[in-house]
Structure formats: C-alpha cells, structure tokens
C-alpha cells in the first residue's frame, strides 16, 4: 500500500503526528459510522446461529450455515460490481453534478440487480439439487435455508449501490442508520419467532428485516439527497422482481 501511494501521489509527504491530529475529527466522523455498519452487518448475518443453538438445538445451526455459505458465494459477482461506483460517486459529488449522481445510482443499481437476481434465481430453483450433488441426499433444511437467505440477500441488492453512493458523498451516517435499523428489527423478530418456528422463524426474521431496512434505506437516501422518492423506492419492485420469479421457476423446472 505504501509503495502504491508513492507511485500514485509522488508529492505525498508524511506530516508530524501533531499536524495530522487536526484531521482526526474528520476521519472519525467518516470512518466511525463505517465501523458501526460493519459491526451491525456481521451481527445481522451471524447471530441467528447463536439463537438457533440456544432456543432450538446446536444441530439446527448446520443447515443455516450450509445455506449461508452458498448464498454468500452466489452474491459475490453482484457485490464486485458495486466497488466501481464509489470513486465515480465521489468525483461527481465533488464536481456538484447532482443530476449525474442520480443517473449513476439508477444505472448502476440496474446492473447490480440484473446480476444479483440472476444468481439468486438460480440457487432458489436448484437448492435441493445443489445439496444432493454436494453432500448427498437428505438435506431439505439446508435447501430451505438457502432459499430463505437467497430471498433475503436478493432484497439487499436494491440498496447496495445507494450505500456506496452515500460513502462517496461522505454521508456514512446514513449507512450506519440503515444497518442499525436492519439489526434491531432482525433481533426483535428472531427472539420472538425462533423459539416458536425454529429455522423457519430465523429465515422469516432476516427476510422481513431486510425488506423493512431496504425500504427505510431507500427513503432515507432519496430524502437526504433530494431525489424523487417514488422511483428510488418502487423501481426494484418491477422488472427485477418479475425476473427473479421467472428465473427461479425456470431453474426449478430444469431441476
């Protein structure tokens, strides 16, 4: 990293710790919410394992973990597309090109949704076959976990680009509010549903939390950046949702 820094910015010079401390507040204001977001994100995706072990049985964690591993791999292609948005969003914000920033969000989200929906549709339809090929027959709970988590992760593709845009414009606090909301809703629902419905309760909780959190995140994004709320909120409910249903049906038919 230091070598690349010297190549990219030859005029860069290290300051003394005292002079650098002047930027501490700015760094914490930007980076602090990002660290909170990372913390909430890890808890959001992992803590159901602890509740399943506590309220159901330790064995109930296995199908959840099998589903999580596959859906994490399936989500990777769409996640890679999001990386390219950050520098573009930062440059457009610095240039005060607000219309182009809105266009960037719309265009990038369509690409992310297209790739994300394609991968999630495939695993939704072929979940049972996938585990039969991987570890043999007799794993219906793992297939159920994969389908539930695929739907939950599919919802997040509507917000990934928005979360990257707010980082680019320096509003990491909006991302932290989104992550905190999702975690709070998820925790409350899981505590209620897992003791009653077990694995199904965990899947319902994470899906509901992601839907509520996504709606809140998109509303917050549009409000803070002065965009029309309706297109930002409703666009993912059209063609992407239809494509997910059709893709899952085709995958299931082939299975």
- Give per-residue pLDDT as tens, 181-229: 999 999 999 999 999 999 999 999 999 999 999 999 999 999 999 999 8
Across the chain, what does the average pLDDT equal?
Answer: 92
Residue 213: what pLDDT? 94
Query: Structure pTM?
Result: 0.87
pLDDT band at 233 (very low <50, low <70, confident <90, very high): confident
- 221 within 8 A of 174, measured Cβ to Cβ: yes
pLDDT at 155 over 80: yes
Q: For 87-92, what is the mean pLDDT?
A: 93
> What does the pLDDT average to over 29-36?
94
- What per-residue confidence (pLDDT) applies to 14? 85
Indicate the pLDDT class of residue 241, thresholds 50, 70 and 90: confident
Query: Residue 54 — very low, low, confident or very high, per pLDDT cuts 50/70/90?
Result: very high
Confidence label for 65 from pLDDT (cuts 50, 70 and 90): very high
Could you tell me the pLDDT band of residue 235, with boundaries at 50, 70 and 90? confident
Residue 237 has pLDDT above 80, yes or no: no
Task: Report the C-alpha gap between 202 and 210 in whole angstroms.
Answer: 12
CA–CA gap between residue 16 and residue 7 (Å, rounded): 21
Q: What is the pLDDT of residue 22?
A: 87
Confidence band, pLDDT 50/70/90 cuts, at residue 236: confident
Is the distance from CB of 89 to CB of 165 less than 8 angstroms? yes
Question: pLDDT-based confidence at 120, cuts 50/70/90?
Answer: very high
Q: What is the pLDDT of residue 248?
A: 87
pLDDT of residue 242: 85
Q: What is the pLDDT of residue 152?
A: 95
């Amino acid at each position: 990293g230091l070598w690349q820094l010297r190549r990219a910015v030859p005029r860069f010079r290290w300051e003394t710790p005292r002079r650098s401390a002047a930027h501490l507040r700015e760094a914490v204001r930007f980076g602090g919410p990002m660290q909170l977001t990372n913390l909430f994100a890890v808890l959001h995706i992992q803590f159901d394992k602890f509740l399943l072990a506590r309220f159901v049985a330790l064995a109930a964690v296995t199908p959840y973990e099998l589903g999580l591993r596959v859906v994490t791999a399936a989500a990777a292609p769409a996640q890679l597309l999001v990386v390219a948005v950050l520098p573009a969003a930062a440059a457009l914000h610095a240039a005060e090109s607000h219309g182009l920033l809105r266009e960037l969000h719309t265009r990038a989200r369509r690409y992310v949704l297209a790739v994300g929906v394609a991968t999630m549709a495939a695993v939704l339809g072929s979940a049972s076959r996938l585990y039969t090929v991987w570890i043999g027959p007799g794993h219906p709970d793992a297939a159920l976990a994969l389908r539930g988590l695929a739907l939950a992760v599919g919802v997040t593709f509507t917000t990934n680009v928005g979360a990257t845009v707010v980082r680019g414009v320096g509003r990491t606090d909006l991302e932290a509010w989104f992550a905190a909301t999702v975690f709070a809703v998820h925790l409350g629902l899981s505590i209620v549903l897992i003791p009653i419905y077990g694995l199904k309760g965990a899947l319902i909780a994470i899906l509901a939390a992601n839907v509520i959190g996504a709606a809140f995140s998109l509303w917050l994004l549009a409000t803070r950046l002065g965009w029309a709320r309706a297109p930002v909120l409703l666009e993912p409910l059209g063609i992407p949702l239809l494509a997910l249903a059709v893709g899952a049906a085709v995958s299931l038919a082939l299975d």
